[in-house]
Structure 1
Amino acid sequence: MGSHQKRVAVIGAGVSGIVGAKHLKESGLEVVVFERSRQAGGNWVYDERKPIEPNYPSVTPSIADFVVEGKGERSGVVNGAKSIDGERGYWSEEEELRFAPPGPAYSGLTNNVSTKLQQLKGFPWKEGTPDFVNVRAKQGYLQSYSKYFRVETLIRYNTRVEKLQKINGKWWVNSTTLIRDGPRKGKHANEFEGFDLVVVASGHYHSPNVPDIPGLKEWKSRWPERVSHSKAYRRPEDFKDQTVLLIGAGVSSMDIGREISQMAQKIYQSSRGGPFDVPKVMLSPETERVAGIASFQHPSKDQDRPGSVKLVDGTVLTGIDRVVICTGYHFSLPFLRDLHDDSATPEQAIDTVLVTDGTQIHNLHKDIFYIPDPTLAFVGIPFYTATFTFFEFQAIAVAAVFSGRACVPSKEEMQAEYKERVKQKGAGRGIHDLKGTSVLYVDELAGWLNNQAEVTGAEKVEGYSKEWQEESKLIPEKYIKLIKSKDTKGNDSGSALDLQSRTKPLEFENDA
């Protein structure tokens, strides 16, 4: 390799991508960040536009929220070659929404984990910043961070990764850039180029999960504007004087219920009684939790509004005006479709697959390194964490390994550790659950890096400080106080992105 400077592709410019790029750059690596939208910030970018609704049902994780069109899958192209698609000069709102759908942030979104716990290294919040801020403040913080550390110059905006593949020891990225200005406005530029290393930081709030409930597809077809996924929720005013059914009892459902409670006439929250349901005490007083849904009544041609819904306990809900599907998202890597197995259950995942039913990412060491090939890494996978700071520790670990300042264990050791974790926690969503253990995870990660530093001479890593850990103990008290204050003020609820509770002690969360 000689003096070759290794190239790293980072997919995504949300918090995971920009902190990853910052630490990789500072480790002496050449970094390119691919971001399909127009700005950095990921889930913390508020966009008034609503995404195009997913398929009904949407149960195939490999499809995600875009369809790979194949135009970038050209073999035999030299590294860095570009082409302009001269036949496709269209420019429409729908095309732009399909290319880079808006995220799930809504106008009243705030963090649920104190800003004191969400401060990135070397970049303090402005003095006087309150514990809880609106989405626009968090968006501004991340974008200012990106500019301050000159990550901004590394980001290729309006550029979507269509396919990622390993060929002859190198990762090849097929990407498409939507041209926004000049004589070629509305056309696509395609590029095929090689990288030594890859960081996937694309998050897991882009591929909506829409369950296959009898009659739901027909309702969506008959009343397309009255049935939607929570990703499209923006403002409570849209639900004024309506009877609303929220499908799912997780954080998104709780938040939307609180937001619309001062506007809606009646709110039902349908729960199957799953392990990730928030406690009833967290719901707005106006929200009634009901049983899971058995079926939606088949609509008649002349029916002007949604009608009745049958629950699994036999109850029938009538007069439903709006349905919001709060059933979360799939883990999805459509640019790595060859490592998906849509037909397998999580328990059936083989040693090379990354995604099966969308409930987890398989075969990762420490939820970071792809065990069959650790030159592929992930930042931002776990749940129940203080996202900003936790993901930065993961980014530091990736930068250490990719720059040669640390080494992952042998493949056999990583496989054995991963299989033991699956045995203890079970396959599926729970394997990424760090509820109550995120500090221990960071301590173990720092300990491993520091042991390596003894040999390499690298700078040692300090885990969460005592001050940070003491502040974290105040989360339940502060969050409950926040909720009570919102209940008295009206319809401005807390975030679904940082905190979820499923038992009485509240915990960190980054799930929606």
Structure 2
Amino acid sequence: MGSILRSNGSLNVKKIAIIGAGPSGLAAARFLLAERAFDTIDVYEQQSEVGGVWYYHPNVTGRITVPQTTPHGPPELPIWPKDGKAPLFSNPMYDHLNTNIPHGLMGFSDLEFPPESLLFPTRQDVQSYLVKYSQEIRHLIKFSTQVKNIVQSPRASEPQWELTAKSTITDEEERKDYDAIVVANGHYSVPFIPSVLGVEAFNAAYPSVITHSKVYRAPEPFTNKKVIVVGSAASGLDIGTQISQVSKKPMLNSVRTSSPLKFGQENKEEVPPIAEYIVEDRAVRFEDGRVEKDIDAIIYCTGYLYSYPFFEELDPTLVTTGRRVRGLYKQLFNITHPTLAFTALSQKIIPFPLSEGQGTAIAKVWSGKLDLPTKVEMESWEEERIAELGDGTAFHVLGYPKDAEYVNELHDWVQSAGDGFAKEPAYWAEKQLWMRENYAEIRKKFVDTGCEAKTMAELGFEYKKRND
């Protein structure tokens, strides 16, 4: 059963729940609040502070399963730190991290990073920035509260969502009905570790050798060890560079496709994907037949599976393999249930400004000021994207210039409602497009010069307005 529409075709939404107080959940809350069209906006956050992946805990790593190929399972278990007042949840943040996006492009449009921030801010600066960004909506947030289950309410006269949540401190449960749900819990909870020949027996024999970037915190434990890092996307590149400085040389970087970005290559050697694990000699065989023995550590930087343990009863199902979220229009609205919205699912994007556009689109549609297309038209949009990119992770991969086009498309779509912006989202003009196109080269120069620059000019980059 889908969501009920008013006679004029708009959605009847007054009570909204947001799952997650990371960057996209905070943006959704601020734009929904600004619309002044809703009676209730509740934000459920299982951690004790905002920030999502940016909320760092050095000694909370959780456990991983090897291999990990299914997105289905119960909600993540909380971890009580010693002498802690509230439990914590593992996330993929690590000790020494700078963003891979310059703050002039990364930030929300209505809050600049402090002038003392590095050009590519530290994780500490980003977390402080998000705490500041949350100030006007903190009263909406239910901290240390984990969403356990969401079903269509059996009590309501019209279809609503019954949300069950549990305090991670007291274990007290609550049930509450909502007209609409924003799912902003991110996609960095369930690591993807592929099933490779012999991996289960190898992991049983050497249970501490295979790990995932989610539980990486610092390079020091890998000092003088023989290490393989699997993957060369952002986390594989950064974590591999850190580890390669202290591990045995060269650190082996197992990749299917060579990364166009090269950091710390003097300490690394690219090798093919792992084809087999061999218990004898603690070895692996690569796809080219090469065998490496006496491996001390293997870190998979292979991404995550989309997972929604609180939506296991939803029909149609949201995830099957976990490689993409099914049944979405514009990467945002559930086609069957348009009172469900999913934020920041896309990959290879600039997430903060993109979340602004999504937040204002949700606010306009759910307030009845902007109409969605027909279900048939929305299904056609999804089918066309599958035909173009396939039915896997590539469905959510944007990259440049598609992410820029999406940010501006959301802005213009909302503007077409005709009643103006209650709160205007990001729009990328020429300077932002220039930064987006060149940020990888800028970051390489930032790393090569010691990660100390605060401006692009210090690195020899300067935006010059084009003369049309």
TM-score norm. by structure 2 comes to 0.86
Q: How far 1:224 moved relative to its partner?
A: 2.8
**1: CA distance between counterparts of 2:375 and 2:171?**
40
Give 2:427's aligned amino acid. Answer: G
- Picking from 46, 51, 55, the partner of 1:41 is 51
Q: How far apart in 1 are the matches of 2:382 and 2:284?
A: 43
Q: How many residues align?
A: 431
Q: 272, 279, 289: which is aligned to 1:314?
A: 289
Partner residue, 2:254: 270
Partner residue, 2:126: 138
**Amino acid paired to 1:328:** G
Q: C-alpha displacement at 1:222, in angstroms?
A: 3.0
Deviation per CA, 1:128-181: give whole Å up to 9, x if none: 43311110100000011101x2x11111111111111123500111111112xx
Task: Give the Cα–Cα distance (whole angstroms) in 1 for the partners of residues 212 and 20 of structure 2.
Answer: 23
> 17, 27, 30: which one pairs with 1:19?
27
1:279-321 per-residue CA deviation (whole Å, 9 max, x = no partner) reads 373453211111111221125xxxxxx7211112211001211
For the structure 1 residues 467 and 335, does the alpha-carbon distance in structure 2 shift closer, same or farther, using more than 3 Å as the test? Answer: same
* 8 Å Cα contact 1:294-1:311 kept in structure 2: yes
Query: Is the CA contact (8 Å cut-off) linking 1:308 and 1:320 kept in structure 2?
Result: yes
Taking a change above 3 Å as real, the CA distance of residues 16 and 206 of structure 1, as seen in their structure-2 partners, is same
1:240 paired residue among 210, 223, 248: 223
How far, CA to CA, are the matches of 1:446 and 1:326 in structure 2?
A: 33
Residue 100 of structure 1, CA deviation:
4.6
What SS class does the counterpart of residue 299 from structure 2 fall into? strand
Q: Could you say which residue in structure 2 is the equivalent of 1:429?
A: 393
**Structure 2 counterpart of 1:500:** none
SS of 2:416's partner is helix
Instruction: Find the counterpart in structure 2 of residue 61 from structure 1.
Output: 71
Separation (CA, whole Å) in 2 of partners of 1:91 and 1:52: 8
1:264 Cα offset (Å): 0.6
* Partner SS, residue 294 of structure 1: strand
**1:237 and 1:461, CA in 2 relative to 1: closer, same or farther beyond 3 A?**
closer
Which piece of structure 1 moves more, 418-427 or 11-20?
A: 418-427
* Aligned partners of 2:43 and 2:141 also within 8 Å: yes
Q: CA deviation at 1:47?
A: 1.0
Work out whether residues 244 and 268 of structure 2, in 8 Å CA contact, stay in contact via their aligned partners in 1: yes
* 1:261 counterpart letter in structure 2: S
Instruction: List per-residue Cα deviations over 1:413-440 (Å, max 9, x = no partner).
Output: 1111221121122221111121121121
Q: Alignment partner of 1:50: what SS?
A: coil
Residue 481 of structure 1 pairs with residue 448 of structure 2: no
**Do 1:111 and 1:133's aligned partners in 2 also have CA atoms closer than 8 Å?**
yes
**Gap runs ≥5 in structure 2:** 1-5, 7-11, 453-468
Cα displacement (A) at 1:99: 7.2
SS at match of 1:144: helix
C-alpha separation between the residues in 2 aligned to 1:418 and 1:118? 28
Unaligned runs of 5+ in 1: 68-89, 180-186, 300-305, 341-351, 493-512
Give me the CA root mean square deviation.
2.5
Closer/same/farther in 2, CA of residues 176 and 461 from structure 1, 3 Å limit: closer
Code of the residue aligned with 1:16 in structure 2: it is S
Aligned partner of 1:152 in structure 2 is: 138
Comparing 355-364 and 134-143, the one that deviates more: 355-364
* Paired residues of 1:245 and 1:324 also in contact (CA < 8 A): yes
Superposition pairs for residues 275-290 of structure 1, below 5 Å? 278-279=259-260, 281-282=262-263, 284-290=265-271
Alignment TM-score, normalising by the size of structure 1? 0.79
Q: CA deviation at 1:226?
A: 3.0
